[in-house]
Structures are given as structure tokens and as C-alpha cells.
Copies of this chain bind each other. A is one copy, B any other.
């Protein structure tokens, strides 16, 4: 529920200065609707791209009227921004989930990251990240999101591979290398710029490169 509405709600009836804490009443259904709208936005970003994602299309995809949609999000921009944040949280959750049932070797982590990049969520995220290049408002939202993702990602990697903590320089390099290579491939993949066979070769080689960067093997 938008902050603006909450303020209005607060002074209903008696007008007493009650705290803004929502009674968490059944109105959490509102949260469900918001989630539905955001999910619809993600699907639209994948289906139509950022350029062709419009408020009517999102509303239709969510099975709601445009009026209802503007009830939850002041305008289209706020919806996009909320979607960007939500995509970030989805990514983090997916990583945490994957990390739980993960063998602690480079290969597994590599494949886990690659799997994430094949999901629709990554495409949607990429659409928004790309849009943020010329949309200053979106960029303002993206910046902290990216920072936090980086931090969590580092934490997770160190948690799974404590030996890397010995050589942070090599660690950062390995991370940057993996991230950019895999993301580059993911991007090229969706536009037919790279075939699955090549992808497999690169993934295998990346594994070797990472292993060679590992502190204990480097001596």
C-alpha cells in the first residue's frame, strides 16, 4: 500500500494521532494485489520489452483494470521502480535458496549463477538496468540495489569458500571475471549471439580459470 494512502487512512474516524503502524488487518490482500501487478510487469518486460510495456498491458496481464492499478501505484514509473526492487529481492532469495543445497565447489557455484541468468527474471532485470542508463529516476533506484546485491553475493561466496578470504584481490578478480563473462553470455544468448555448445566450453574453461586463482592452489 502506498505511503500516501496510509497517511490518509491514519486520520479516519476519530482523527486521533494513532501510530502509523498498519494493524496488519486483512488489508494485506492489498499486498497480494501489488505483488500480482509486479509479477505482471515482469512478464510484460519479458514479453514486450521495456520499450513496449505499457500500463494497459500490465493491467490486462494482471487481470485488473487500469484504474485499480493506479490505485496501488501512483503512476507507471513507480510501478517500474517497485518492480526493479522486487526483482532484486527475488534474485537474492533465489541465491540463498540455491546456496542451501549446494556443494562447496567452484563448478556448482558457477552453474548456479548461470542457471539464474537463464531465468526470465534476469531478462526483466536487464531490461530495467538498460533503461536506467537514460532514466535518471530508475538509476537512482538501481544504484543501491546493485550495491547490496554485490555485498550479499560476496558474503555468500566467502561463506561457501572461506579459503578465498586469504586473498581478497584474487577473490574480487574471480568474482568480476565470472560475473561479467556469464552475464555477457546471457545477454548474447537471448539475441542469438552465442550457441549452447560454445557456452558449455566457456563455462568449463571459466571453472579452470577460477580454480587457478584459488589461494591454496596458487601456493
Contacts and interface: CB of A to CB of B under 8 A. Distances in A.
A172 B201 CA distance: 10
Contact of A185 (B127, B184, B188): B184
B173 A202 contact: yes
Nearest to A127: B130
B187 A183 contact: yes
In this complex, the member of A134, A172, A206 whose beta carbon has the largest number of chain B beta carbons within 10 angstroms is A134
A30 B190 CA distance: 36
Contacts of A133: 49, 123, 190-191
A198 B176 CA distance: 7
A6 interface: no
A193 interface: yes
A202 to B, nearest CB: 5
A82 interface: no
25 contacts: A49-B131, A49-B135, A50-B51, A51-B51, A51-B131, A130-B130, A130-B191, A133-B190, A133-B191, A139-B191, A139-B192, A172-B201, A173-B198, A173-B201, A173-B202, A173-B205, A176-B194, A176-B201, A176-B202, A177-B181, A177-B205, A180-B188, A180-B194, A183-B187, A184-B185
Interface of A: 47-52, 123, 126-127, 129-135, 139, 142-143, 146, 172-173, 176-177, 179-185, 187-188, 190-194, 198, 201-202, 205-206, 209
Lowest 9 CB-CB distances: which A-B pairs, in order?
A: A184-B184, A180-B184, A51-B51, A49-B134, A181-B181, A183-B184, A180-B185, A129-B191, A176-B198
